[in-house]
Amino acid sequence: MKIKDAITVFQHHQQSNLKQRSRDSYQFLLQRLLEVYGERTFESLGADEIYQFLENMTQNQARSTRRLRYAQVKAFFTFIIKKCAVNLKNPCNGPLLAKAFKSPKQVQRKILDKEIVDEMIYNTKNPRDRLIMELQARCGLRIGELLKITASDISERKLVLREPKSGKEADVAFMPEQVAKRVEDYKRNKSLSPNDRLFPISYSTARAMIRKQGAKLNIMITPHDLRRYSATYASRNGIPLEIISKVILRHQDLKTTQVYLGKVSEAEAIRWMDILHGK
């Protein structure tokens, strides 16, 4: 198989499985691959050539851009190897490339305590702001998804999420009964039409609001910290990882969910051993 044919197969897969923004991100890389190696066979490209290709393409660019291009090339090779049953090890997994384009060590984020999150929510008097924080902390919504919700997207305990990060046309999130009741009351009090956004504010406004509420309790907090909290709280209360991943966070991969859960302290580990087997 030639590289140009592999690119065609990969782009066909992207059309069905990736959002336009993600496809656009790959476009420059795939065009450069086509120009430089289009007539070469897929199996003929080795780690050294790929390394030089990436070095030339990302020269003088930020480290994050270099890592992104490496990850995209790696994803391209991985897909073609699996899809077309190519008898080849992914050359991007070699030590040269892995070291040159390695990601920085992830910093473990501090997990918010339930008492802190509850205090933030209960002390917030503005119904709109309280609901935004509740839907993130209780339901695991991303702030971008949350701000797109319209009145017609709400159906009893369910929220239809348009253009989710997963790349699907739509996704579904679920609400606890009390939160769902407050959402309905809020929608009714605002007299919203079906196409009206539930929270017609910008991301920056929502972020500033959440930071302000955190500052009242002397903590630094972002919208995504509340989504992360929804996962760790569920995990600490014995909810299966599959439910946290597929229902609360709506991740495509369990590995992504595990990053959200944080480290388990010794005290936490001992508590769970006592729950499982008794003291």
Residue in this structure with the two tokens 């003088």, named with its chain if needed: 60
Check: CB of residue 232 under 8 Å from CB of residue 140: no
Q: How confident is the model at residue 6 (pLDDT cuts 50, 70, 90)?
A: very high
Determine if the pTM surpasses 0.85.
no
Residue in this structure with the two tokens 């695991």, named with its chain if needed: 140
- Sorted by sequence, the CB contacts under 8 Å of residue 160 that are 6+ apart come out as 149, 153, 154, 170, 171, 172
* Structural domains of the chain, ranges and CATH numbers in brackets: 3-100 (1.10.150.130), 114-275 (1.10.443.10)
Is the pLDDT reported for residue 108 higher than 70?
no
Q: What is the overall mean pLDDT for the chain?
A: 87
Is the pLDDT reported for residue 236 higher than 80?
yes
Q: What is the pLDDT of residues 60-106, one digit of tens each?
A: 888 889 999 999 999 999 999 988 887 888 989 888 888 888 776 65
The end-to-end CA distance of the chain, in Å, is 62
Q: What is the pLDDT of residues 181-216, one digit of tens each?
A: 999 999 999 999 999 999 999 999 999 999 999 999
